[in-house]
Chain A
Amino acid sequence: MTRRALFLLPALLCLAGCQRETQVEKANREGILIFGNSNEPKGLDPQVVTGVLESNILRALFEGLVSDHPSDDAAIVPGGAQTLEPDATATVWTARLRPNAKWSDGTPVTARDYAFSYERILTPEFGAKYAEMLYFLKGADRFNKGETKDFSTVGVEVIDDLTLRLTLRGPTPYFPQVLKHYTWNPVPRHVVLKHGTMTQKGNPWSKLGKIVSNGPYQLKSWRRNDHLEVERNPHYWGAADVTLNGVRFLPITNSYTEARMFRDGQLHTTYTAPPEIVDLMLKENPKVLRQEPYVGTLFIRCNTTRKPLDDARVRRALSLSFNQQEICDKILRGYKPAYGMTPPMAGYDTPHAVTFNPEEARRLMTEAGFPADAKGKRPDFPRLKYLLASRETAATTAQAIQAMWRKELGIEVEIENKEWTAYLAAMQELDYDLAGSGWIGDFLDPLTFLEMWSDGNGNNLTGWSNPKFEELLKQSHQEADPAKRYAILREAETIMTAEAPVLLTAWYARNYLLDPSVEGWYPLLLDNHPFDSIRLRTK
């Protein structure tokens, strides 16, 4: 062996023996959280996008009047507003903005930015899909529906650069919870107008290289279907307290790929964990598996405009005759049986509406005019179609319910799987019998689970309405006392669940994987983790 080769030997040995640092280890050193975010964001304009995955990125980039707390969803943390004061009836709210709040280009954030943003999202020409989130403001619905062109009729008032007054449609003691939603985030007026007009569709202000934000982070890089990374916003008022240097969001659509990447040390946290991965991790590495409650309800919509589902007794019978507990234990993993529409949250006592009771279900069926024959079958009951969008656990759940109905009620339903948009279209045209669906709450208040069932709401899609229910909802908008308001909402929910326009199936849980190096990450009902207080432990 020549001398040169001898010299190379240690290097070669090191190359063979050294274990390469994983991406998570490298990111821990750099203080960057790698976050599985399920898909490519549809955009970064808080007044245009509508999805959960977009909201994860917006939470890093933007800050509204109030912020999220790292361990308590119900807590109100001052954000862009130093103080937020209600009047005696909780109808008029005055926000005093931080004098040192700045956009990431150094321009101060003013009350005008907020007012501009609210006018923008509510202007009908802009066509914002989530404009309804701002209907809490007095006159917002009329302005958004084009009944008036005068924005001064909407309850948004700029007192001075640092004072904003919001007048609501009625007493709203839980308003700070609503304000946490990203639709209430400000957008930089000066940047939006620099790249186009206020209501211009496709205004490029929120693209890479142009976007300016007011949250703890600013956009650093974005490669479509590959990654999106945010870095510290040096102008953020609380920059000194921000612990995490950045977040890298990966749009991993395939949950098995995501789990493999996690196991390979390429991710700190996954967006989800399918049941097979839950089983595998329970065996392999249970400490990384997280199973936490999430404010969402899984249900089956009934088309109440069709026979025999127009009869509340039939819907009740269907609802009482499948065993939610068994479905949660065997299929949905970590989900809880849903005895009401609103999952447990914010001190609200959900009325108990559904328990598995096949006896009562059979009685109701017979009463509704569908008696059982000698073999327990109900020959008069039509064969219903159960619509689904092809997702694996949803399909398994549907098959389980189908079998339980056959066993308990002696009826047959047919499962019809459609592709996502076709499924949505069928639901919106009321061209279905039963449809497997779900809803994730927008904010921590029962209203986000109840208002959707009001007449004409874009999420109702069942054809169901009830004047007493509408009346109670309206009443709740005018009630300032939180305890009385909850009592009114309970009454409304009792009416709704008794008539069962939807068959409650389960309350959501979130199954996902989290690397042990992540600290300061707590279970949250809305899953809105503020990134700025997370720490990454290096070995």
Chain B
Amino acid sequence: MARIIINRLVQGLLTLFVLVTITFFLVRMMPGSPYTDEKALPAHILEQLKAYVGLDKPLPVQYLTYLKNLVFEQDLGVLLKKDGVTVSEIISQSFPVSALLGVLSIGIALMVGIPAGIIAAVKKNGPLDYACLAAAMTGICLPSFVIGPLLAVFAGLGLKSLNVAGWNTAADWIMPALTLGMVNAAYLARLTRGGMLDVLNQDYIRTAKAKGVPGWRIVTRHALRGGLIPAVAYVGPAFAGMISGSFVIETIFQVPGMGQHFVNATTDREYFLIQGLVLFYGFLIVGANLLSDLAQIALNPRLRAAA
């Protein structure tokens, strides 16, 4: 077990290093620069601005400086269009919001998606199965930028107690969490159904049935563990994605999360912010994947034996 963890951690570090390197050079290949503004800057002012953050130095020097600051001082750099704001400041302000929204959404996704998937599998080809499948398919096909505004118009404008957007009270969490949660619930429902159907066709389930184990007990005691494996594999990376924010959800519901920074940093050519966010997201993905691997080992005796 410890070997697996160490192995994964080393792989993760290597992944992050490659990620940082590729991002560093890719962002600098985009047309324009952080100093591209509506008005072309006079050359002497441009030089001053670049020199201030070291962007006047040759690229390899910039890269090494960035790595050095990152590793030895945990310094992610500064924003180039917002004077005096650091990348860590942006992440530390926006991540808690996204994390809260992500946890709520994954909660909704798990509570809706997994039971729906189980019911669909147990009542295979029955009306309940078709209803679950149809709902899941709708959830997958309708993007959040359709569901979000619809929810805002019908629930937000319709109910006095809900605001259409904003992030001030706990009631404001409901609509964004529902929108983000439902899309993922749909995926989870389909994955759970598939996983459960696989397991329910196995010999040991038939044996359990033959022994006279009650139906609900077969599902909870014998089938569920194996049936959840595909869903668990999905939840890890999906969770990392959800807690790092969503541009669409955040702009529809005016949520001060991290997702919009990914998009805005790119259009603004905020070199250090893009690098910082990509690194942070990479870190979350590596972590979530590790946890999801460990959960799968715990669920799957065959993997446990290999470990």
Closest 8 CB pairs of A and B: A425-B32, A202-B84, A127-B48, A225-B256, A421-B32, A226-B256, A458-B40, A458-B39
Q: Is the CB of B78 within 8 A of A257?
A: no
A261-302 interface with B by 8 A CB criterion? 261, 263-264, 266
Tell me how many residues of A have a C-beta within 8 Å of chain B: 50
Known contacts: A224-B256, A425-B31. The answer to whether A458 contacts B41 by CB under 8 A is yes
- In the complex, B163 has a CB within 8 A of chain A: yes
Name 14 extra pairs, CB < 8 A, besides A129-B45, A224-B90: A43-B82, A124-B45, A125-B48, A127-B46, A129-B37, A145-B44, A203-B84, A252-B254, A260-B156, A261-B163, A261-B164, A421-B30, A422-B32, A458-B39
Q: B interface, how many residues as a size bin?
A: 35 or more
Q: Is the CB of B38 within 8 A of A424?
A: yes
Task: Quote the shortest CB–CB distance from A54 to chain B (angstroms).
Answer: 11
Q: Is the CB of B165 within 8 A of A257?
A: yes
- In the complex, A317 has a CB within 8 A of chain B: no
Residue pairs across A and B with Cβ atoms less than 8 A apart, 20 shown, are A20-B160, A23-B163, A127-B52, A129-B39, A131-B45, A201-B83, A202-B78, A202-B84, A224-B90, A226-B254, A252-B165, A257-B164, A257-B253, A260-B156, A421-B267, A424-B37, A424-B38, A425-B36, A458-B40, A459-B40
Tell me if A's interface is mostly helix, strand, loop or mixed: loop
- In the complex, B269 has a CB within 8 A of chain A: yes
A6-54 interface with B by 8 A CB criterion? 19-20, 23, 42-43, 45, 48, 50
Q: How far is the CA of A419 from the CA of B266 in the complex (A)?
A: 10
Q: B217 contacts which chain A residues (CB < 8 A)?
A: none
Q: Across the two chains, which residue of chain B brings its CB closest to A41?
A: B82
Known contacts: A207-B84, A421-B268. The answer to whether A428 contacts B254 by CB under 8 A is no
Best-surrounded residue of B37, B45, B78, B156 (most CB of chain A within 10 A): B45
- In the complex, B166 has a CB within 8 A of chain A: yes
Task: Quote the shortest CB–CB distance from A355 to chain B (angstroms).
Answer: 29
Known contacts: A201-B52, A225-B260. The answer to whether A419 contacts B251 by CB under 8 A is no
Q: Is the CB of A19 within 8 A of B160?
A: yes
Task: Quote the shortest CB–CB distance from A328 to chain B (angstroms).
Answer: 23
Q: A264's contact among B82, B94, B164, B250, by CB below 8 Å, is which?
A: B164
Residues of chain B whose beta carbon lies under 8 Å from any beta carbon of chain A: 30-33, 36-42, 44-46, 48-49, 52, 78, 81-85, 90, 93-94, 149, 152-153, 156-157, 160-161, 163-167, 250-254, 256-257, 260, 267-269
The number of inter-chain residue pairs (CB within 8 angstroms) is 131
Q: How far is the CA of A254 from the CA of B255 in the complex (A)?
A: 12
Best-surrounded residue of A129, A202, A225, A253 (most CB of chain B within 10 A): A225
Q: Is the CB of B52 within 8 A of A261?
A: no
Q: How far is the CA of A42 from the CA of B264 in the complex (A)?
A: 12
Q: Is the CB of A266 within 8 A of B163?
A: yes
